[in-house]
């Protein structure tokens, strides 16, 4: 019962310790689960958007020379699946056997040779029989010749109907197909159809444009007959990985499993899939997010742990006379620690369990280290107060001691420890830059804690350097009228007295400013990436527009300017320094009228029959030398390299080989005008749907001019799309694991701000009794309550200012110091991430400092009411 009475007597201090322990237990479980959940969701979203070749495991059959598939290997599906190494086996959600040809030209029977005919794959896939419904004709039942089914969309696009005959030509033979049915999928979302979509492909000659690529279904007999005629048929076994079962922590193991399956595939098969390279890209993103999360998590948990230690110290300092009395009566140090431990065990474990359970209720995946971290938090919260009580009881005192005087003359042991801490921080930062935070060998606590050590080192340096200017300021204040400034600065000058709160506050501010700096850096780089990719308010993209389309769009309401641009991928480039024919992306634009931020060499160029000035990427410039020729739309133009740069408005960041030519200077003949495929639009309130319709009309006209055919919008090779700068910029924040990145930044800043205020409050509470005795004495000399609050301000503002400066410098420097380990380039669309800080974040830190002072005044007021300043002096005298 005596234990319960003590718990009731010191319930406030125990509850503070319990709340901080429970909060820390929540922080090591809940936010991490949310971050992991967002990482998994982003990973799954990206996997769903991948093409089948990039997300499915596909094995191709290997046959002896001269032998082809007989389309009868469906029974090997379970055998090959069982051969898959773990964890791949447990992730397969669907499997299909396929016997198919390569892409082969198809033309109506009897049609002559075409320069760019449509192509198709002839496929036998048993599982499709139950996945289709016949909308015209009947199912395939080959006898005299292969019979095929064609999908509704493909039939419409290719102009095929039931009864048509098609000639399919492969490299080694030709066969005639008979169209006997048109089908529609029973469930269009079924993954069986993901590799059978109708899509466009490039013609061998770029001047011929694009062609359709389709899949034609046949039966087993039809596949065998076509195989004999075409001398082309291959077995494939396709396995769909269920993205809903894949989590970010499995990516590395999955990559190794796919590599193992590639090295040792099932007998007579080879893997034909790039899923391992896809997973490797994901793993790079996940590692980068994990590194950022680890830095923020380490900073927040270190701050929370520091608050627990401060709360334990607060509780034991308030009970110093009690512990001194126990020692005076013959009690041992262990007895003091034991009775404190009993009190803590009644309150704190329950709070830790509640905090941990609260964290487990949040959606997301638990981290593998969660049990270890929760156990560490429990040990810290339970043992902090008993250990602190034992330290206090070792040197019993009824009236307290002048710890500030002792701290102002630190022992060689303490100075050595502080110097070692600084060296430890420097060594940790160096190793992080050298090895990274996640080198694949598991989590290294030293490297993860290096940013926290840097913040602690900054607090130590500030702790040793600040008292001297404050004492000088206090001496100046002593010569002025009034004692408030002198007394406050004198208390602030004894900064070692606040070493604990200062260290905690510096770590919290450094963590918050680190997240703010990284947020600003990533945001600024993404803004720049959006400006490069969409250097206007919007850009219209298509296959080819007429030269007049830009003028027609410019005449639309609210359109201020429309600039035509040609982006020609795969342009043939011949340089003066090499006989090799290179390929790159050519951008042709009227540099003088475009308004783009281009060099004067291009904007000032005028019409010439000789070489025109050009911008070249550094990689391309190193290969071509000082100039050369570029083939644009089938015509060669000479150029000289006037400017070398790796970023140009209108080209997405990361484009390796590019050339920018000034259209106004090029000798373009009137009978072969440049056909743009991009139009840059500037204007407010533009009706982009009207812009898209006008652009499609321009594409239809261009098709008519080049082929003589009249087409509808749905027949266009590439329908027009409008991309605004805002939508492109927003898209950069909705890729992959960006959701986890955003959550990490927001949660880190909020937690850092809340914990910073808590640290200030504990600093006030720690010094409240001593300040109360001082105020009681000063009130006998006429000190007013307002002057008492000013005294606290003079004492706390230097502490907060030092913490803001030290923590701010550490937080701002961290991204630069450990930048290579963070790998921010994966989040900035290829733009180099220079370290920047949004002024709003800097203003937020100053606002937080002001809020901390206000909170300190409120806490001090509550503490003074509880201490009853009128009796503090008498109590202190009795204790002395």
Tell me how far CA of residue 561 lies from CA of 596, 661, 685, 860, in angstroms.
Answer: 12, 21, 13, 62
- In whole angstroms, what is the distance from residue 196 CA to residue 236 CA? 14
- In whole angstroms, what is the distance from residue 285 CA to residue 252 CA? 12
The tokens for 429 are 């930062």
Give the pLDDT of residue 236. 92
Give the residue carrying structure tokens 């010569």: 479
Contact 617, 655 (CB under 8 A): yes
Q: What residues in the chain have per-residue pLDDT under 50?
A: 402-407, 495-497, 872, 874-880
For the segment 167-214, what is each residue's pLDDT rounded down to a tens digit? 998 888 889 999 999 999 999 989 999 888 888 887 877 666 778 899
SS3 content of the chain, % helix, strand, coil (to 5): 55, 15, 25
Contact 832, 768 (CB under 8 A): no
- In whole angstroms, what is the distance from residue 111 CA to residue 630 CA? 36
Task: Tell me the three state secondary structure of residue 66.
Answer: coil
- In whole angstroms, what is the distance from residue 117 CA to residue 108 CA? 10
- In whole angstroms, what is the distance from residue 69 CA to residue 77 CA? 15
| Nearest alpha carbon to residue 502 among 814, 806, 855 | 806
Give the pLDDT of residue 495. 46
| CA within 13 Å, CB half, 21 | 31
| pTM of the entire predicted model | 0.78
Peptide bond into 718 cis (omega under 30): no
| Nearest alpha carbon to residue 291 among 430, 447, 427, 431 | 447
Contact 639, 666 (CB under 8 A): no
- In whole angstroms, what is the distance from residue 9 CA to residue 315 CA? 12
Enumerate residues 6+ apart whose C-beta is below 8 A from 635: 668, 669, 672
Give the pLDDT of residue 663. 93
Enumerate residues 6+ apart whose C-beta is below 8 A from 831: 525, 526, 528, 529, 532, 647, 653, 825
- In whole angstroms, what is the distance from residue 196 CA to residue 183 CA? 13
Total Cβ atoms within 10 A of residue 668: 18
φ/ψ of 176, rounded to 5, equals: -105, 130
């Amino acid at each position: 019962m005596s234990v319960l009475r003590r718990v009731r007597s010191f319930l406030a201090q125990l509850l503070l310790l319990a709340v901080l322990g429970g909060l820390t237990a929540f922080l090591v479980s809940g936010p991490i689960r949310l971050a992991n959940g967002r990482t998994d969701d982003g990973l799954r979203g990206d996997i769903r958007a991948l093409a089948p070749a990039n997300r499915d495991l596909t094995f191709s059959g290997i046959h002896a020379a001269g032998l082809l598939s007989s389309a009868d290997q469906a029974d090997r599906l379970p055998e090959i699946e069982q051969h898959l190494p773990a964890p791949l086996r447990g992730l397969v959600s669907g499997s299909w056997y396929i016997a198919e040809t390569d892409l082969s030209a198809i033309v109506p029977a009897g049609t002559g040779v075409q320069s760019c005919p449509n192509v198709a794959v002839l496929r036998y896939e048993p599982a499709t029989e139950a996945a289709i419904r016949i909308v015209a004709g009947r199912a395939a039942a080959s006898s005299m010749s292969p019979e095929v089914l064609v999908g509704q969309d493909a039939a419409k696009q290719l102009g095929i109907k039931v009864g048509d005959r098609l000639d399919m030509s492969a490299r080694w033979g030709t066969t005639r197909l008979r169209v006997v049915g048109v089908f529609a999928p029973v469930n269009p979302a079924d993954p069986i159809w993901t590799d059978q979509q109708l899509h466009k492909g490039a013609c061998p000659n770029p001047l011929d444009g694009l062609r359709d690529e389709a899949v034609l279904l046949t039966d087993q007999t039809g596949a065998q007959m076509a195989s004999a005629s075409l001398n082309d048929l291959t077995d494939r076994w396709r396995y769909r990985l269920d993205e809903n079962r894949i989590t970010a922590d499995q990516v590395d193991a999955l990559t190794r499993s796919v590599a193992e399956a590639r090295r040792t595939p099932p007998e007579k098969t080879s893997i034909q899939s790039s899923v391992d390279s896809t997973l490797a890209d994901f793993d790079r993103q996940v590692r980068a997010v994990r590194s950022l999360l680890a830095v923020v998590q380490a900073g927040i948990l270190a701050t929370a742990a520091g608050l627990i230690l401060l709360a334990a110290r607060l509780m034991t300092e308030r009970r110093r006379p009690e512990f001194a009395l126990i020692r005076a009566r013959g009690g041992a140090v262990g007895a003091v620690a034991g009775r404190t431990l009993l009190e803590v065990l009644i309150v704190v474990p329950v709070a830790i369990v509640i905090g941990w359970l609260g964290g487990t209720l949040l959606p997301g995946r638990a981290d593998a280290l969660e049990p270890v971290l929760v156990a560490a938090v429990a040990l810290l919260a339970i043992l902090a107060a008993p250990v602190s009580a034992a330290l206090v009881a070792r040197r019993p005192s009824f009236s307290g001691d002048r710890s500030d005087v002792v701290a102002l003359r630190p022992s060689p042991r303490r100075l050595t420890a502080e110097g070692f801490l600084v060296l430890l921080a420097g060594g940790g930062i160096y190793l992080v830059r050298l090895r990274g935070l996640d080198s694949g060998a598991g989590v290294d606590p030293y490297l993860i804690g290096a940013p926290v050590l840097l913040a602690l080192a900054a607090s130590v340096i500030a702790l040793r350097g600040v008292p001297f200017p404050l004492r000088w300021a206090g001496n100046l204040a002593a010569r002025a009228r009034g004692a408030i400034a002198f007394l406050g600065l004198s208390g602030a000058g004894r900064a070692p007295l606040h070493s604990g709160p200062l260290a905690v506050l510096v770590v919290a501010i450094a963590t918050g400013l680190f997240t703010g700096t990284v947020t600003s850096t990533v945001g600024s780089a993404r803004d720049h990436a959006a400006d490069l990719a969409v250097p206007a308010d919007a850009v219209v993209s298509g296959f080819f527009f007429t030269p007049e389309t830009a003028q027609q769009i410019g005449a639309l309401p609210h359109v201020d300017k429309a600039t035509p641009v040609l982006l020609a991928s795969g342009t043939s480039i011949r340089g003066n320094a090499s006989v090799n024919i290179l390929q790159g992306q050519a951008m042709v634009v009227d540099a003088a009228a475009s308004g783009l931020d281009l060099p004067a060499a291009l904007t000032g160029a005028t019409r010439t029959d000789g070489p025109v000035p050009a911008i070249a990427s550094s990689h391309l410039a190193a290969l071509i030398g000082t100039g050369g020729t570029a083939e644009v739309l089938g015509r060669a133009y000479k150029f000289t390299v006037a400017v070398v740069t790796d970023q140009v408005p209108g080209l997405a960041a990361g484009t390796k080989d590019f050339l920018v030519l000034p259209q106004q200077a090029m000798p373009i003949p009137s009978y072969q005008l440049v056909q743009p495929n991009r139009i840059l639009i500037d204007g407010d309130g533009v009706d982009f749907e009207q812009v898209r319709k006008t652009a499609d009309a321009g594409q239809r006209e261009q098709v008519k001019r080049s082929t003589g055919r009249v087409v509808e919008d749905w027949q266009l090779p590439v329908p027009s799309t409008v991309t605004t700068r805002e939508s492109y910029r927003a898209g950069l924040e909705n890729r992959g694991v960006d959701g986890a990145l955003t959550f990490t930044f927001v949660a880190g800043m909020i937690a850092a701000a809340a914990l910073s205020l808590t640290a200030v409050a504990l600093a006030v509470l720690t010094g409240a009794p001593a300040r109360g005795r001082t105020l009681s004495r000063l009130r006998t000399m006429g000190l007013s309550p307002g002057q008492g609050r000013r005294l606290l301000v003079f004492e706390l503002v230097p502490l907060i200012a030092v913490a803001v400066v030290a923590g701010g410098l550490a937080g701002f420097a961290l991204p630069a110091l450990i930048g290579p380990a963070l790998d921010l380039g994966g989040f900035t669309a290829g733009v180099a991430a220079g370290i920047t800080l949004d002024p709003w974040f800097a203003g937020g830190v100053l606002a937080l400092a002001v809020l901390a002072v206000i909170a300190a005044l409120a806490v001090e007021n509550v503490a003074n009411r509880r201490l009853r300043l009128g009796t503090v002096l008498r109590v202190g005298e009795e204790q002395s």
